[in-house]
């Protein structure tokens, strides 16, 4: 398997619940690109680790896990999905236990090497919009289309709470706020590929913008780059 060097990559990074998923999905749809939610890959490994009863803070156990699993990516309805040992985790990757442990798993350097390779390989399916924490800094640093999406923490907590709504195990917005803050802290302070603004990335503050407006900014930027080429 090799990377598709002609594929166009839109790299979208940012903190939790900054709107990356909605924006990346919509941008991909409008351009006929594939959508890749890199966080779902980290959540998938976390789901598998919890299911096997591993201690997610024990990196040796986690490394042994990634060495024995069969992780397979495939294209489904314009999005890159995956299975682990033949099973698709589905919505289970959004559960509270996965939510609380994913940043520990994502801090293990071997996990990152493993998943960065998997994520790069998804370009074999064609052009894509990929969202995450290190897409512009590590996974596709040469992409000319890098964006850093941000929003005020209160607004992000509100968005996530509404999104999880009925199926949520959280009682109120403040619990979600605390959970996001814990994860953001771990994601920005870890040694391996911390969340940061990629060199040359365009920063978009979406606090007072809806997803359509953010996508318009990105599409206009890509259109202008095309016009300049
Ligand atoms: O949806 P939300 O932004 O809350 O999170 P996500 O994109 O599903 O990512 C879940 C977790 O995976 C993050 O908190 C990071 O710890 C990790 N992650 C990462 O380290 N690198 C990525 N490229 C994507 C996610």
Sequential pLDDT tens for the chain (229 residues): 445 778 999 999 999 999 999 999 999 999 999 999 999 999 999 999 999 999 999 999 999 999 999 999 999 999 999 999 999 999 999 998 999 999 999 999 999 999 999 999 999 999 999 999 999 999 999 999 999 999 999 999 999 888 877 666 778 899 999 999 999 999 999 999 899 999 999 999 999 999 999 999 999 999 998 866 5
CB of residue 44 inside a 6 A radius of ligand 1: no
pLDDT for position 163: 82
The CB of 134 under 6 Å from ligand 1? The reply is: yes
Distant-in-sequence, close-in-space partners of 179: CB < 8 Å, separation ≥ 6: 99, 100, 170
Interatomic CA distance for residues 116 and 176, integer angstroms:
28
pLDDT of residue 1: 43
pLDDT of 164 reads 77
* Cα 228 to middle of ligand 1, angstroms: 33
Structure tokens at 33: 């690109």
Q: Are strands 145-150 and 9-13 parallel, antiparallel or unpaired?
A: parallel
Q: Ligand 1 pocket, 43 CB below 6 A?
A: yes
pLDDT of residue 229: 53
Ligand 1 atom with least separation from CA of 184 = 14
């Amino acid at each position: 398997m090799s990377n598709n060097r002609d594929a166009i990559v839109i790299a979208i990074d940012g903190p939790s619940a900054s709107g990356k998923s909605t924006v990346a999905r919509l941008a991909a749809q409008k351009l006929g690109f594939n959508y890749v939610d890199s966080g779902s890959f980290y959540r998938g490994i976390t789901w598998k680790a919890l299911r096997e009863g591993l201690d997610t803070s024990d990196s040796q156990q986690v490394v042994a896990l990634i060495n024995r699993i069969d992780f397979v990516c495939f294209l489904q309805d314009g999005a890159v999905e995956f299975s682990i040992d033949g099973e698709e985790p589905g919505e289970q990757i959004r559960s509270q236990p996965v939510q609380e442990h994913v940043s520990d798993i994502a801090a293990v350097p071997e996990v990152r090497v493993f998943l960065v390779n998997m994520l790069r390989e998804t370009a074999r399916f064609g052009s894509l919009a990929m969202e995450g924490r290190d897409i512009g800094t590590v996974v596709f640093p040469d992409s000319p289309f890098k964006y850093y999406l941000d929003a005020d923490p209160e607004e992000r907590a509100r968005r996530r709470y509404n999104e999880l709504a009925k199926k949520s195990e959280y009682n109120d917005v403040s619990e979600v706020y605390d959970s996001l803050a814990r994860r953001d802290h771990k994601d920005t302070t870890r040694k391996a590929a911390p969340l940061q603004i990629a060199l040359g990335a365009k920063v978009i503050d979406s606090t007072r913008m809806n997803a359509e407006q953010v996508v318009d900014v990105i599409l206009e930027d890509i259109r202008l780059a095309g016009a300049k080429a």
